Amino acid sequence: MPKKQHTGLKWLWRIVFVILIVISLALIFNEQIKSWLVSSYSPPVTAKTVKKNQTKKGNFNFSKVKSLDFQTVAKARMNKSSIKVIGSIAIPSVDLYLPIGKGVSNETLALAAGTLKADQTMGQGNYALAGHHMIKHGALFSPLYYRSKVGQMIYLSDVTHIYAYRTSQRTFIKATDVQVIDDVPGKKLVTLITCDKTGAGRLMIRGTYVQKWAFKQAPTTIQKSFTSHFNNKY
């Protein structure tokens, strides 16, 4: 075999070997990389961006939501500008802090909590949010599955105000029980929906409205739940 051909073949095998190593590492650390892509998402949550995004249309077709695989998360990070951030949610007792995006597009649910109705308003009616459940206990809505309890406080913020709810119900429901997001006459609620451990059913966390504050007038510890975990400018 000529020397040049032998050298070329040797380099080709080295390149193939490196590619195989990279692919193997990616497969081994798939979940870790995916969790990092989700947890490191920190969009701006400002009065300007929230006001702008509230006027935009969202995607509310839940039937097109994909499972949270690596490709979905990677695509969401590449298209993060498509997520219409309209606020944030904080549940300090379970260490849950997430931006809220308008609608339930795959990009939105891959990185944030998504609103389930087009016309809902914090502090009014039944404010319903959906979020994915991941293997990592601290990502997205996973803390609800592992650590939520009745009596815990849930806080929502639209930048201008902070809205407080107290968890009143924690129950497993069928995936077809979509009526749980409907408004209940005379009640102000927050309803959080995520998958159960099997993925076939749903876990519903419901909170009843307690009060709201202008952001700067809320207790300092509650303000910090938002200012310490989000890229905020209040």
Which residues form the catalytic set? 132, 195
Coil, helix or strand at residue 32: helix
- Asked whether the beta carbons of 111 and 105 are under 8 A apart, the reply is no
Alpha carbon 210 to its chain centroid, in Å, reads 24
- What DSSP line would sit under 33-96, residue for residue? HHHHHHHT---EEEHHHHHHHHTS--B--GGGPPP--HHHHHHHHHTGGG--EEEEEEEGGGTE
Q: What does the alpha-carbon distance between residue 228 and residue 206 come to, in Å, rounded to a whole number?
A: 25
CA distances from 102 to 10, 58, 108, 138, 210 (A): 53, 5, 8, 22, 24
